[in-house]
Amino acid sequence: MQSDKTFATRFGVIAATVGSAVGLGNIWRFPYECGANGGSAFLLAYIGFVIVLGIPVICAEFVVGRASGTNVAGAFRKLGAGRLWQSIGVMGITASFFIMGFYSVVAGWCMDYIWQSATGFGGVASQTELHTRFDEIVASPLRPVAWTIAFLVVNFMVISRGVQKGIERISNLLMPLLFVILAVFCVNSLLMPGAAEGMAFLFKPDFSKLDGDALLSAMGQAFFSLSVGMGALITYSSYFSKKTSLVKTAGITAALDTLVAVMAAIVIFPACFSFGQEPAAGPRLVFEVLPSIFMSLPGGQIWGTMFFILLFVASLTSTISLSEVVIACMEGEWKMSRGKATLIEGGAVTVMAVLSSLSFGALSGWTIFGMNFFNLLDFLSSNILLPAGGVLISIYVGWVLDRRIVSRQLTPPGHTRSVWVAPVSFCLRFIAPPAILAIFIFGLL
């Protein structure tokens, strides 16, 4: 019998990995980062980072995960790596907590908006009313906290069911659904009055906007959206069978992830221009722009409900991979049962999430480096921990790990050395580490 610690089918591998990658990062974060950083030039920089940094680092994580067959805390030790490399595990666990801390708050807002769309936003009509409503909702003391906790309960219920019955089953079901719903929205969006302006904003590059800050954001976004740099993909690939082609899985994941981000932008920007709204509105963008589209459409309540269900689904398959990083460590390193690990991790994440939810209301006066707790968690994870993890993982797989292991892992069974071994290794050795470091320094200055 196959153990529960591997994905059962090839479709399951893709669904789970793409499920991890595709999430709020694509549909909520990408459009507002793109909007705030000049639109199309950001998109081009982003795609460049996905190709030269993203795909090679995904491959590197896959190599470590499948070669070691274990969680982030144990993987580097098992491959014989020293303490420096083992610290990637500690950084990964920290990043998992930080990301869960703000991500589940946004997922909670999505659940709230499912309910609100279904009830027609209580008859609210104007843009100003939608704006005020978002402010009121996120700042209220109980409502967003309750939704966030509801989201975390669903997340940890799925995860407690294990790899095949929990993660794989839910991803197989939900990921195809997500593509269908998003495609319907794209078609609708291209028929809107602001479609031409929206498309020009997204596809006609204005390089004057691409400064160090924008480049750091594009790189951080690429890491965040592809789920690389913190071991989520190390953990998942430890569940891959020997037959899974790593390079192909990395390529498909990056391509589908980018496609969903571009589709989300195609849904959002025409709507912005049709309704005279700022593409640079920040985290509130999808929560404000989209309800105005829904309300203007026949059957808007159904559209709106579907859209926020889609966001909820996308978030769930990502938070599952984020929490699995820590749960796999607790099971593997500290020999805890899955149930106990889920409870402890769930409790710790809930504390972070409640604090970050309250940082829009009761705790909004509490800022660190000028950021509230929510923004601080986002900044530290996407722009610091993930790129730092990416540098270390690239150097480890590019320079330290035995090249025979790398080559064997990157070559599908039954083949002699894959043609991809050389270009992937080249990027990991010579491109990823200096490029990530340079952008990092340039962006932080």
Give yes or no for residue 230 binding ligand PHE (CB under 6 A).
yes
- Which span sits near ligand PHE by CB under 6 A: 22-30, 37-45, 79-87, 208-216? 22-30
Minimum CB separation of residue 194 from ligand PHE in Å reads 26
Say if residue 334 is exposed, middle or buried (CB neighbours under 10 Å; 0-12, 13-18, 19+).
exposed
Q: How far, in Å, CA of 29 to CA of 32, rounded?
A: 6
- 93 in Cβ contact with 326 (< 8 Å): yes
Question: Site for ligand PHE (CB under 6 A): how many residues?
Answer: 15
Give yes or no for residue 410 binding ligand PHE (CB under 6 A).
no
218-220-226 Cα angle (round to 5): 100
Minimum CB separation of residue 319 from ligand PHE in Å reads 7
Tell me the helix, strand and coil percentages in the chain, rounded to 5. 80, 0, 20
* Nearest residue to the partner ligand PHE, using Cβ: 25
Sign (positive or negative) of CA dihedral 99, 102, 105, 109: negative
Report the residue number, 99 or 266, with the smaller CB distance to ligand PHE.
99
Which of 17, 217, 227, 425 binds ligand PHE (CB under 6 A)? It is: 227
Minimum CB separation of residue 357 from ligand PHE in Å reads 18
Report the residue number, 16 or 424, with the smaller CB distance to ligand PHE.
16
Contacts of 336-343 with CB under 8 Å at 24 or more apart are 338/160, 338/162, 339/160, 342/156, 342/159, 342/160, 343/156
Give yes or no for residue 21 binding ligand PHE (CB under 6 A).
yes
Minimum CB separation of residue 59 from ligand PHE in Å reads 16
Q: Is 243 helix (H, G, I), strand (E, B) or coil?
A: coil
Report the residue number, 194 or 231, with the smaller CB distance to ligand PHE.
231
Minimum CB separation of residue 174 from ligand PHE in Å reads 14
Q: Which of 386, 53, 370 is nearest to 220 (CA)?
A: 386
Give yes or no for residue 250 binding ligand PHE (CB under 6 A).
no
> Bridge-partner residues for 371, per DSSP?
368
Which of 71, 117, 292, 318 binds ligand PHE (CB under 6 A)? It is: 318
Compute how many other C-beta atoms are within 10 angstroms of the C-beta atom of residue 7: 25
Residue 11 neighbours by CB under 8 Å, 6+ apart: 172
Report the residue number, 26 or 245, with the smaller CB distance to ligand PHE.
26
3-state secondary structure 274-313: HCCCCCCCHHHHHHHHHHHHHHHCCCHHHHHHHHHHHHHH
Which of 15, 16, 24, 266 binds ligand PHE (CB under 6 A)? It is: 24
Say if residue 381 is exposed, middle or buried (CB neighbours under 10 Å; 0-12, 13-18, 19+).
buried
Report the residue number, 25 or 144, with the smaller CB distance to ligand PHE.
25
The DSSP line for 48-88 is: HHIIIIIHHHHHHHHHHHHHH-S-HHHHHHHTT--HHHHHH
Sign (positive or negative) of CA dihedral 152, 155, 158, 164: negative
Minimum CB separation of residue 317 from ligand PHE in Å reads 9
Give yes or no for residue 220 binding ligand PHE (CB under 6 A).
no
Give yes or no for residue 26 binding ligand PHE (CB under 6 A).
yes
Which of 6, 17, 20, 116 binds ligand PHE (CB under 6 A)? It is: 20
Report the residue number, 185 or 224, with the smaller CB distance to ligand PHE.
224
The DSSP line for 339-354 is: HHHHHHHHHHHHHHHH
Q: How far, in Å, CA of 163 to CA of 151, rounded?
A: 19
Minimum CB separation of residue 167 from ligand PHE in Å reads 12
- Which span sits near ligand PHE by CB under 6 A: 118-126, 144-152, 227-235, 340-348? 227-235
**7 secondary structure, DSSP code:** -
Give yes or no for residue 25 binding ligand PHE (CB under 6 A).
yes
Report the residue number, 319 or 357, with the smaller CB distance to ligand PHE.
319
Compute how many other C-beta atoms are within 10 angstroms of the C-beta atom of residue 276: 9
Range 69-108, binding ligand PHE (CB under 6 A): 99
Alpha-carbon radius of gyration of the chain: 21
Report the residue number, 225 or 245, with the smaller CB distance to ligand PHE.
225
Report the residue number, 254 or 289, with the smaller CB distance to ligand PHE.
254
Report the residue number, 202 or 322, with the smaller CB distance to ligand PHE.
322
Minimum CB separation of residue 437 from ligand PHE in Å reads 20
Minimum CB separation of residue 127 from ligand PHE in Å reads 27
What are 159's two structure tokens? 């995860």
Residues that bind ligand PHE (CB under 6 A): 20-21, 23-26, 99, 224-225, 227, 230, 232, 318, 321-322
